Chains A and B, each alone.
Chain A
Amino acid sequence: MENENAALAIDGGDLALGGGLLALIRPALDLLEPGGVLAVNSVNHALRDDLPRWCQLQHHDYMERQVTDQEYDRHLVGRGALTLLRGNRESGIALPQHEGQISAEDVLKSIPMPD
């Protein structure tokens, strides 16, 4: 997996934006300083349109989509310089990183689901 230029990467598999992927993307972006880059690897083609629009609405920077030779897309997202600070629910959480990646399992363990 190529992660050059990205501080963090997540493997989104075939998750849709609203089908669990945002639960991975949001805490991953919170780990980054403004300007830091997250790589989102995905085989879900709907993300090609959904992720840039979500980034625009959330004031993150959708940088580019790279097509890999392993048939997944690699989306590069920069944390917006003027994005809002995380909420209380996510504060103080330190997600473990495994060779520059975080796992869905760790995210789900660390962040309580809303009531």
Chain B
Amino acid sequence: MSIDRRSLLKGLAAAGAGAAATAAAPVEASAKAQAPADALGMLYDATRCIGCKSCVVACKQANDMPPETATFPDGLWDAPIDLSGKTRNIIKLYKGDDEQSYMKAQCMHCIDPACARACMIGAYRKREHGIVTWDGSRCIGCRYCQVACPYEIPKFQWDTATPKMVKCEMCNHLIAVGKGPACCAVCPAKAVIFGKYDELLADARQRLADHPDRYIPKIYGEHDGGGTQVLYLAGVDFPKLGLPELSDEPAGEIAQKVQHTAYKGFIAPVVLYGVLGAVLWRNRRSAGKEDQP
């Protein structure tokens, strides 16, 4: 752990001060965030995906993740059934009555990430290029991020003594050396591509305009949940692919509003202690009556 007690306490104090400041000026918190100017992102086009799972294999190699053998007989395959503490990226299959589609599940790298809002200690941060990363030296293992994420992305390593939170970090260790995410580099169908967020968005709009018959007329992630830097195009409705219907507000927005309102002007503690005090006072009075027969 690269964090000592002093800096941790300092961080907590700063977080407290920040919370107080937010409470004083709640209008700022609800201003919709924009993707940073240097934002990088990914565009997954489900209609181009051929389901080869090269991205799953490449992701595991690039991030040194162990295989998941438990779900299949003989232990001969790496067969994850969902994202997990060992799997950051997975290809799923939606099979409807007369339609089907592949789906690449991974971190969406939200413009205003709910995990970072929920994390009380700042382990999740939006770093350069808007990539959302997790910092193991800060994490206390509360897993609020898991609850907060509307896409159910961060996963906890339940089977180790020193667990980590696992999610796609857009291969930022490869971006740092001038490469791109392993999944995008390996994709033979260019179903998932990596690039500047603005260019990907323009590309996606162009595809919708060029082939309206091929797609659901929507870029998932353009506005959903406040916008995500990983964008999706598909030929079937997005909820069928496990992408929830969200409002255009950041996913953590409502929870944060409720909390901040409750604590505004110290209302919640005052009310709580007021009620407790009233109960105490009432009990004492009734006890006093019993002592005077």
A binds B: no
A interface residue numbers (CB < 8 A to B): none
B interface residue numbers (CB < 8 A to A): none
